[in-house]
Structure 1
Amino acid sequence: MAALVVIMLILLVWALIAGRLARVSVTMPLALLLAGVLLTAGSDPWFIFEIDFESGEHLVEAILALLLFVDATEVPGGIFGREPRVMLRLLLIALPLSLVLMWVAGIALFGGTGLWLLAVLATIVIPVDLAPAAVFIRDRRVPVRLRRLVNVESGLNDGLVAPVFLLAIAGAAAHGEESVAEAAADAVPSLAVAVVVGAVVGAVAARLLGKALDAGWTLPSALRIGVLALPLLAYGTAILLTGNGFVAAFVAGVFFEPAARRLPAATMHLAEDVGEMLSLALWFIFGAIVNDVLASGAITWQVVVYALIALTVARLLPVALSLVGTDVRVPDRFTIGWVGPRGIATLVFGMLAVVELPGDKDFVLAVTVVTIVASIVVHGLSTGVVIRLYDRASQRPAGPGAAGDTEGPGQTADR
């Protein structure tokens, strides 16, 4: 109960000074992480969390499902957004290249480690989660096209990585060709089930809620609760049918998005706020995990270098290469590559790997923790700088074809 009071107090303080802290690029995940580290550190900490990964993994998965759903409702123009060709390049060229680069980096840095375990690590550190840098896609000083591309990609790539992650886990756990073949055979049906479940839940719910509103059968407050239930419904149903819950939640959001635009503006606010609050509480608890990993001594220079490669070269290079030949400006290509923070998606995959591969628990957890902490600090502090650079660029006389690239300088969008 004391931990709950402290977390809520921190959130209240944040609500009072968020604007001030935003000026120095201090994000809420960074603030909660620092509070969690400080209050759970030492031999006699203020708070003691007994971290049980097996019992806590479903809660973390549910939070991720909710965030994916919310992300999807902000993607106009279908599952690949309004620019499917650019998005397919990011997902089918940049993403596989990033995974391969991290697999090779793992071989170079952790030579004695099994190849399947290195594949697991690659799938843990590559998925992008905008939570540590959510301000980027909400700030109207950033070109709207750029924000849409980053938003759509972040919602899709962890869902696409999930089947690869499950295959790598099977290989690392079994060390047998038969189990790996079975995992590969299960991956496609799992993805298909998730897409069908998500499409049905999202489309049917959109139709029913719209009709109920038109007929006067419901109330705005009830609509908000109904929307909050959708990602968890899609996630749970997909899991029961042996599908991928994350993909189902995101697809449900994609199919619900057209209805979300026709419903009252505040309909999505409860799902957005609950998802954000739960994720912020998770960052506080993550601070205790950071202290446990530091105490274990599992962090080596190889782990640190591996995490930095994941956040820089292995992301920037594939994204830039994949966008060659498109009309995306060169600076924007590197911005898309840079604004790729790691957060709850990485934490979920890392927790699942710890549960499935207990023999490699400390090593996997060290890679997961270092990658997330480095990302929260680096991306959290640099996102404001990137936004200000775009703001300055927007103040200069626009070049040919630049008209309409932004929604309006100098203001931050509210969700």
Structure 2
Amino acid sequence: MIALVVTMGTLFAWALVAGRLARWSVTAPVAMTAAGVVLTVGPHPVVRISLTTSDAERAVEIILAILLFSDATHVPARAVRGRRRLLARLLVLALPMTLAAGALAGSLLFPAGGWWLAALFAAVTVPVDLSPAGELIGDSRLPSWLRGVLTVEGGLNDGLVAPVFLLCLAGVEAHGAGPGSASDAVGAAVNALLWAVLAGVLVGKPGGVLLQRAWLAGWTRPAAVRLAVLALPLTAYALAIVLDGNGFVAAFVAGLCFTPHCRRLPPKALHLVEDTGTLLSLALWFVFGELVTQAFTGDFDGRVVAYAALSLTVVRVVPVLLSLMGSGLDGADRLLLAWLGPRGMASIVFGLLAFIDLAPTDPHAADLIGQVMTMTVLMSLLLHGLTYGPLAARYSAARPRPDEDG
């Protein structure tokens, strides 16, 4: 309970001075991570958080379910309509190439772990998350179309990577267990994904239709609609678990099925689920601070730094640039899209789930996953935080009217 008191107290303290801290780009994730490091370091830390229990795993999965649902529903329709081809290049071409490049880098740096572990490294570190650089979305120095594309990419790629993550995790868990074990584990994971898709469709589509009709008929109120929307990802998660499916994938599918009905709901219908997701994610940023202290107090593998650096540069930049060839964008636009790929909450949650699952059976692999995830997110906070401002300023100076679409 002391952990909850400290975490929420830290969040409240940040909220009191958020405006002043914003002048130095100290966002909520940065503040919560710093607090997590300070309060969990040393032989007698103020807070101790157990991450290897089944309760911790379930809590992380539920948080991910809410975040994925919110991401799926928080995609700006105008950006999707206006830039379908560009988004297809990023999500259909660049994302698979990035996963492949990340797996290749992992296999070269950690050959003893095998391809499954290398692929799991990629699945954990590839998803883009703009929450550490939230000011980017409202920065008028960048054109609205570019901000919209980055928002859609960040909102959808974690959900698209989630099935890949589950398959890779199943492969790592079965690696070395005997002939046929990996194929059996992957088969079970595929079966869980199919049940997850079914659960998501059964909850998201009818839920959206019923809420829309109830609102248009005047049978409900805005506050009730907000509560009903929050109930949808939790319902999809629970139904998938009952069906032996994956809960957070079901929540993402439910969000995709629910999204077409959002436009006819009250304007603030999504605010409660978004705020809940934000609050829970900030608590996980505090937990991430403890992971930082753990990563540097145990046996640290220096190759982790090399992998994180590659993941944030070559692994991200080259596939995006290749996918944008022939897109009609100029060099500056392509480079900016390729570079602005911060890592954050999706990587933290995937890394935590992998660590929790692997710790009892393969502590070495669990530690490596934890270190790779921690170093990648930490370096992303530093690299993207330091370079975003100067890049936006140079981009704006070269384009007198940066907020024009097209």
User: Under TM normalisation by the shorter chain, which class is it?
Assistant: 0.7 to 0.9
C-alpha separation in 2, matches of 1:195 and 1:215: 30
Please give the TM-score of this superposition, normalised by the length of structure 1.
0.86
- Compute the displacement of 1:316 (Å): 0.9
Alignment-mate amino acid for residue 333 of structure 1 = R
- Residues 1:246 and 1:128: Cα distance change in structure 2 (over 3 Å): farther
- Residues 1:264 and 1:162: Cα distance change in structure 2 (over 3 Å): closer
- Compute the displacement of 1:387 (Å): 4.3
Tell me what 1:339 maps to. Answer: 340
Instruction: For residue 112 of structure 1, give the secondary structure of its aligned residue in structure 2.
Output: helix
Query: 1:304-354 deviations in whole A, cap 9, x for unaligned?
Result: 111111111100110111011113333222222222222222222222322
> Is the contact made by 1:129 and 1:345 (CA closer than 8 Å) also made in structure 2?
yes
C-alpha separation in 1, matches of 2:332 and 2:244: 42
Please give the TM-score of this superposition, normalised by the length of structure 2.
0.88
- Residues 1:205 and 1:146: Cα distance change in structure 2 (over 3 Å): same
2:182 to 177, 180, 183: 180
Instruction: For residue 111 of structure 2, give the secondary structure of its aligned residue in structure 1.
Output: coil
Residue 231 (str. 1) matches residue 236 (str. 2):
no
Residue 250 (str. 1) matches residue 252 (str. 2):
yes
- Residues 1:169 and 1:67: Cα distance change in structure 2 (over 3 Å): closer
> Is the contact made by 1:158 and 1:345 (CA closer than 8 Å) also made in structure 2?
yes
Tell me what 1:48 maps to. Answer: 48
Unaligned segments of structure 2, at least 5 residues: none
Instruction: For residue 142 of structure 1, give the secondary structure of its aligned residue in structure 2.
Output: coil
Tell me what 1:285 maps to. Answer: 287
- Residues 1:228 and 1:262: Cα distance change in structure 2 (over 3 Å): same
C-alpha separation in 2, matches of 1:316 and 1:184: 30
* 1:116-195 → structure 2 map (5 Å cutoff): 116-175=116-175, 176=178, 178-185=180-187, 190-195=192-197
Alignment-mate amino acid for residue 111 of structure 2 = G
Tell me what 1:372 maps to. Answer: 377
Query: 1:72-109 deviations in whole A, cap 9, x for unaligned?
Result: 22224499665333222222321222222222222332
C-alpha separation in 1, matches of 2:386 and 2:262: 32
Query: Comparing 97-106 with 379-388, which one deviates more in the overlay?
Result: 379-388
1:204 to 194, 203, 206: 206
- Residues 1:210 and 1:164: Cα distance change in structure 2 (over 3 Å): closer
Same amino acid, percent of matched pairs: 48
Query: Comparing 127-136 with 381-390, which one deviates more in the overlay?
Result: 381-390
C-alpha separation in 1, matches of 2:269 and 2:346: 25
Query: Comparing 235-244 with 142-151, which one deviates more in the overlay?
Result: 235-244
Alignment-mate amino acid for residue 267 of structure 2 = A
Larger RCO: Structure 1 or Structure 2 (Cα < 8 Å, ≥ 6 residues apart)? 1
Alignment-mate amino acid for residue 127 of structure 2 = P
Query: 1:368-403 deviations in whole A, cap 9, x for unaligned?
Result: 211122223333444444444455455x257xxx84
Instruction: For residue 29 of structure 1, give the secondary structure of its aligned residue in structure 2.
Output: helix
C-alpha separation in 2, matches of 1:164 and 1:79: 26
Instruction: For residue 114 of structure 1, give the secondary structure of its aligned residue in structure 2.
Output: helix
- Residues 1:121 and 1:106: Cα distance change in structure 2 (over 3 Å): same
Instruction: For residue 324 of structure 1, give the secondary structure of its aligned residue in structure 2.
Output: coil
> Is the contact made by 1:71 and 1:155 (CA closer than 8 Å) also made in structure 2?
yes
> Is the contact made by 2:60 and 2:353 (CA closer than 8 Å) also made in structure 1?
no
C-alpha separation in 2, matches of 1:113 and 1:40: 30
The alignment's C-alpha RMSD in Å is 2.7
C-alpha separation in 1, matches of 2:121 and 2:151: 24
> Is the contact made by 2:32 and 2:282 (CA closer than 8 Å) also made in structure 1?
yes
C-alpha separation in 2, matches of 1:99 and 1:111: 17
C-alpha separation in 1, matches of 2:30 and 2:278: 14
Query: 1:240-294 deviations in whole A, cap 9, x for unaligned?
Result: 3344433332332233233322222222111111111111111112212221222
- Compute the displacement of 1:215 (Å): 3.0
Tell me what 1:316 maps to. Answer: 317
Residue 362 (str. 1) matches residue 337 (str. 2):
no
